[in-house]
Amino acid sequence: MLFTYFFIIPSSIFGQTRNNEQTLQRQNLTIIAMDEDGAEYTYDEDGISFKVVETVEKPNDKESIIISEYYIKDKNGDYQKDSRQITTINPEKNKIEIKKINNKGKATINTQSIVDKNRIY
């Protein structure tokens, strides 16, 4: 199931739709660890190196929660925590809720249908 989350969720958030022509140039994707409980990987985007640590939780049989901690590599080569994202997937309610928390603690929440007229997540 992690395979699905790891590859579907980022594309659903950053993918290309008819209404929002947005593409990202991620390069050098390196998977450090991956199992049923989470994943750790690095990638480069727009000249910045990122590390992401994801944890998958299953609080009940109706929803899954993916907690993603984002780190940015500093000039010394160390990763510093930048932001956090909590993605809740609830197929029974046909929704994905994405809560992004920046490094200052400000949160934004975006809710999307799992199935909409433009694509299936």
Question: Where does 2-118 show beta strands of DSSP type E?
Answer: 26-35, 38-45, 48-60, 63-73, 79-90, 95-101, 107-113
Distance CA 12, CA 33 (A): 22
Distance CA 112, CA 104 (A): 25
Task: Identify the band that residue 92 occupies on the pLDDT scale cut at 50, 70 and 90.
Answer: confident
Kindly state the average pLDDT of the residues 65-71. 96
Distance CA 81, CA 76 (A): 14
Cβ contact 42:54 at 8 Å = no
Q: What is the mean pLDDT of the chain?
A: 82
pLDDT at 22: 56
* Residue 111: pLDDT over 70: yes
Kindly state the average pLDDT of the residues 104-117. 86
Pair type for strands 48-60 and 63-73: antiparallel
Helix (H, G, I), strand (E, B), or coil: what is residue 117?
A: coil
pLDDT tens, position by position, 10-25 = 443 444 444 555 566 8
pLDDT at 62: 87
> Model pTM greater than 0.85?
no
Kindly state the average pLDDT of the residues 82-97. 92
pLDDT at 16: 40
